[in-house]
Amino acid sequence: MDFQVLSKFKTDEEKFAALSKTTFLAEYVTNDLTLHLTNYFDAVKEQAAILCDLIIQRFLPFEHPADESKTTDMIATLRAQLQMGWSTKLSQPLKDMAEVEVQLIPWLFEDASAFLRQVITTYMDEPPTRQILSHFIKKINKSLPFLLFNDLRLANANNSLQRMQVVKGLIANKMIE
């Protein structure tokens, strides 16, 4: 699909515009991918993780817009206060920003938050795919950082201590062993 469709477009903006009008990836590829990450033999899980990584590399090439100083400042503040915790006042803005990011990529994931939540769970539970999935999560952290921050917010709200530690490490670009 990438070569046949996207090679016709010269700029990233044209590619993004073309992709944003499709639902193929969301309906037929990424929907079933989480199932293959967890319910099969290690070789199938590994191939599913590789496919996750390839999809993100090819179809999510952008980084979070750095020209919006207010958003950039918020990301920097959240990362700086990662170990200390955040004010409860940030809960709703985090949720809202994550929702905006979800709306950016409906052509890639039907529900990006749920997909990321499942990938992080797989990252925690399936050691054979951990390294590959860390690349996927690092790319999400660069392109759609509020999705990862929102997952941390949810883990904190649910008092899921292990998940909080793992997500904090992923935001800080540290892999678990």
Q: Is 133 exposed, middle or buried (0-12, 13-18, 19+ CB in 10 A)?
A: buried
- 79-105 mean pLDDT: 84
Confidence tier at 26 by pLDDT (50, 70, 90): confident
Give the DSSP letter of residue 173: T
Contact 177, 169 (CB under 8 A): no
Return mean pLDDT, the chain: 82
- 56-61 mean pLDDT: 78
Mean pLDDT lowest among 40-49, 64-73, 75-84, 92-101: 64-73
The pLDDT, as a whole number, for residue 69 is 66
The pLDDT, as a whole number, for residue 117 is 92
The pLDDT, as a whole number, for residue 21 is 75
* Percent above pLDDT 70 for the chain: 88
Q: Which of 1-10, 14-23, 107-116 has the highest mean pLDDT?
A: 107-116
Quote the CA–CA distance of 74 and 170 in Å, as a whole number: 18
- pTM: predicted TM-score of the whole model, two decimal places: 0.79
With 50 as the cut, is the pLDDT of residue 177 above it?
Answer: no
The gap between the terminal CA atoms of the chain, to the nearest Å, is: 35
- 54-66 mean pLDDT: 72
| Amino acid identity, position 34 | T
Quote the CA–CA distance of 170 and 95 in Å, as a whole number: 19
Domain ranges across the chain: 2-171
With 80 as the cut, is the pLDDT of residue 18 above it?
Answer: no
